């Protein structure tokens, strides 16, 4: 059943369609499709995204990735804490339940669905609260993917600035990479290294949340292991010079896989998924994200 809906996405990936077109095509199919939900869509989306991100490691300098993570550690920690505090405040003002508010905050602060999945699998909140947080992130990811490239161009940002802004302000890795692909190769490299260095904070943040909340089981956490795959492949291509000639090809395959992943993300934005988003959690997510977008843009520019 899934293969039937994969055909269009595969075609878009093979021809190298723009990221916005892949997302829009998936969304169009989702909204026009009147049959039952596509089975195993979440699993397919996750696997394709992870494969694409891992393969991007072939075009990255691991020493630069680690340097980005080390140089920005204090800024990253400060921004994470500030985002979580702002999420808590907005959630209290809007009377959003504690679990949903925390998951929306975590997804905004680090890397969208991966962070939400890690924290949710540790704390085990009611399933509908996790679904609401994921749906909000999905919707805002779609908006960001379409908005950031033209807005960045209108603001006159350089490619490094565009990549850094995307990495700091967009939730999911897939949408960060998708937006950066539309901005240029330098933007893509900066965005990917910065976002994945930032995503490593899922581990200490999840540990801290479990300790503070005094609930959940760390052994059940769904850690984003694909980050380790990215680092491993980057290490291989960084320290084995003989592999350099095939690096661009592997990276291209990763980019095309991410085009397919974005199509699947759009396919997941069904009417049922959108209907799960309550008004108050959605307002919280939008206001919080607007603050992050404005704050990160000011930091990148000035």
Write down the pLDDT at residue 273: 62
- Distance CA(262)–CA(270), nearest Å, equals 14
Do residues 114 and 196 touch, judged by C-beta distance below 8 A?
no
- Distance CA(141)–CA(256), nearest Å, equals 19
Write down the pLDDT at residue 197: 76
- Distance CA(8)–CA(26), nearest Å, equals 9
**pLDDT higher than 60, residue 75:** yes
Q: At a CB cut-off of 8 Å and minimum separation 6, what does 208 contact? A: none
Longest dimension (CA), the chain: 57
- Distance CA(77)–CA(12), nearest Å, equals 38
Choose the most confident range, by mean pLDDT, from 19-28, 161-170, 177-186. 161-170
Q: Which two tokens stand for residue 81?
A: 């804490």
Write down the pLDDT at residue 1: 43
Location of structure tokens 């769904």: 222
pLDDT in tens, 227-271: 678 778 888 888 888 888 888 888 888 878 877 877 887 777 666
pLDDT in tens, 79-95: 889 999 999 999 999 99
In this predicted model, which residue has the larger pLDDT, 218 or 122?
122
Do residues 107 and 242 touch, judged by C-beta distance below 8 A?
no
Confidence of residue 284 (pLDDT cuts 50, 70, 90): very high
Average pLDDT of the residues in 64-68:
69
Mean per-residue pLDDT of the chain = 80
Put simply, whether the predicted model's pTM sits higher than 0.85 gets the answer no
**pLDDT higher than 80, residue 225:** no
Chain-centroid distance of CA 230 in Å reads 15
Kindly calculate the radius of gyration of the chain based on its CA atoms and give it in whole angstroms.
Answer: 18
Q: To 5 degrees, how large is the angle CA 199–CA 193–CA 72?
A: 70
Do residues 74 and 271 touch, judged by C-beta distance below 8 A?
no
């Amino acid at each position: 059943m899934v293969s039937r809906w994969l055909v269009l996405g595969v075609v878009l990936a093979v021809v190298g369609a723009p990221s916005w077109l892949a997302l829009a095509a998936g969304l169009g199919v989702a909204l026009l499709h009147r049959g039952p939900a596509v089975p195993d869509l979440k699993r397919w989306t996750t696997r394709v995204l992870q494969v694409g991100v891992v393969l991007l490691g072939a075009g990255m300098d691991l020493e630069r990735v680690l340097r980005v993570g080390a140089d920005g550690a204090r800024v990253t920690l400060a921004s994470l804490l500030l985002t979580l505090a702002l999420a808590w405040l907005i959630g209290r003002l809007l009377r959003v339940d504690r679990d949903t508010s925390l998951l929306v905050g975590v997804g905004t602060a680090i890397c969208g669905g991966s962070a939400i999945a890690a924290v949710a699998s540790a704390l085990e909140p009611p399933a509908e609260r996790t679904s609401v947080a994921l749906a909000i992130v999905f919707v805002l990811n779609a908006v960001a993917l379409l908005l950031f490239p033209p807005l960045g161009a209108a603001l006159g940002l350089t490619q490094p600035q565009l990549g850094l802004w995307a990495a700091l302000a967009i939730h999911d890795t897939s949408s960060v990479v998708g937006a950066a692909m539309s901005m240029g190769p330098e933007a893509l490299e900066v965005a990917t290294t910065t976002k994945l260095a930032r995503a490593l904070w899922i581990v200490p943040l999840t540990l801290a949340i479990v300790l503070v909340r005094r609930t959940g089981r760390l052994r059940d956490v769904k850690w984003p292991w694909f980050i380790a795959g990215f680092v491993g492949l980057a290490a291989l291509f960084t320290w084995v010079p003989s592999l350099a000639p095939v690096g661009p090809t592997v990276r291209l395959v990763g980019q095309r896989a991410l085009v397919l992943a974005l199509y699947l993300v759009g396919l997941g934005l069904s009417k049922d998924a959108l209907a799960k988003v309550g008004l108050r959690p959605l307002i919280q997510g939008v206001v919080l994200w607007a603050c992050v977008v404005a704050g990160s843009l000011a930091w990148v520019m000035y």
